[in-house]
Structure 1
Amino acid sequence: MARKRAVVLLSGGLDSATCLYWAKSRGYALEALSVHYGQRHERELRSARRLAEAAGARLHALKFSLPWLNTSSLVNKEKPLPNLPLSKIGTGGVPSTYVPGRNTIFTALGVSLADAVGAEIVVVGANALDYSGYPDCRPEFYRAFSQVARLGTKRKAIKIATPLVRKDKAAIVRMALRLGVPLKRTWSCYRGGRRPCGRCDSCKLRAKGFSQAGTEDPAL
């Protein structure tokens, strides 16, 4: 009997790595999807490859360029990255690191891959609690996308799974530890240097999660 199959959107960061191992723990055959879209922190793609290999996932690596994405400071290196106090992250307006339609594009690619390979779920590491204020990380966005996937594919009821959407970063760290995620292989920093900068929103949220979980970050 064929194993059930899952597509996991794998950036190489803490959240997507946890989703990869969440799907693995449920017995899914793993199809990992990694996307190079011009992000300044392309080092995360190296982490995605290493994580997929460790989990026994088949990696589908895509690369594309959409000129309008350079309105985001994650793509346009001439735009400064935010440097907010931790208490201010996720408050106020949508930050400059928001990439227009990124999660819409990636989730659509995941649904397309799932439809092609016969996967029953697309697993996305979206998080609506400890996040930077992105509109496409909200639960209602993924509920709506599940309806799109149901109506627009030949496969029966492809589900969009968001196992982290209601968890804070500390809970995600604890979940990753339980699942045996090789956290040393993950990369979260927006700057993409040799070592995490410790100053960007993503580094600060990650540090908060490990601190509140009472454990050291092995990637540092």
Structure 2
Amino acid sequence: MNLKNKKALCVMSGGMDSTLSAYMMKNSGYEIIAVHFNYDQRTQTKELECFHKICNKLDVAQKYVLDLDFFKQLGASALTDKSIEVPTSGIEEGIPVTYVPFRNGIFLSMAAAIAEKENAQVISIGVVEEDSSGYPDCRESYIKSMQQSINLGTKDETCIEIKMPLVHLQKSQIVQKSLELHLPLELTWSCYKNEDKACGVCDSCRLRLNGFSIAGVKDPIDYK
């Protein structure tokens, strides 16, 4: 395949994991098509701002920003239902209340439609299985099953691979890889609660801060 014809549709939240995945795709010779989802999450404005700034750094020519009101109507998650508090104790049994029901399945289905239209060979998603919050839709086995379903449900000539290059990494390894690839980590956002300064105590902030701590470097974003 001619390198100029290699396209990767990258699902990008504005967070560190999906940003690293996109940078890895670019370093592998893919033209990046970026897709971002606004789903009435608490930090929607900040995440969208980060997405656009990161796309500028990556010289992304084609961007999709998709607005979904479905998740707000659904509720059932602390990220989309403000009557449910975002946990800050760091102690939760089972699936966290920040889990958004079947979010990655819905995102990947929409991404598949765009990938087929754009003739992209790859969908990139920054799921992390071993060091995540325990979300079921971040498991490698699930993502592989989605790849099979997507290829069964698209044109015969469409052949899409879902790449998840971070799925078996720890957060500290993600930080280290991000530094190696010179990611603009100061432009990424992980906090579930705040849009000005990261709270430092939600599950996502804790995972991020712990990753930087183990990697032995300071996180460049501001915390309360």
Structure 1 contact 44–192 (Cα < 8 Å) conserved: no
Q: 2:56 aligns with which of 46, 53, 57?
A: 53
Q: Which amino acid aligns with 1:117?
A: E
2:28 aligns with 26
* SS state at 2:81 partner: coil
Q: Percent identity?
A: 38
Gaps of 5+ in 2: none
Q: 2:88 aligns with which of 83, 90, 96?
A: 83
RMSD of aligned C-alpha atoms? 1.2
Q: Which amino acid aligns with 1:149?
A: I
Aligned residues between the structures: 216
Q: 2:177 aligns with which of 172, 175, 178?
A: 175
**Distance in 1 separating the partners of 2:8 and 2:216:** 31
Deviations, residues 17-53 of structure 1 (Å, cap 9, x unaligned): 1011011101111001000011011111110111011
Gaps of 5+ in 1: none
* SS state at 2:5 partner: coil
Pair 1:95-2:96 in alignment: yes
Structure 1 contact 21–180 (Cα < 8 Å) conserved: no
Deviations, residues 36-87 of structure 1 (Å, cap 9, x unaligned): 01101111111011101110112210102014431111011121011233xx
**Distance in 1 separating the partners of 2:26 and 2:89:** 35
TM-score w.r.t. structure 1 length?
Answer: 0.94
Q: Which stretch shifts more, 175-184 or 150-159?
A: 150-159
Structure 2 contact 116–158 (Cα < 8 Å) conserved: no
1:191 aligns with 193
Pair 1:38-2:43 in alignment: no
Q: Which amino acid aligns with 2:207?
A: L
* SS state at 1:32 partner: strand
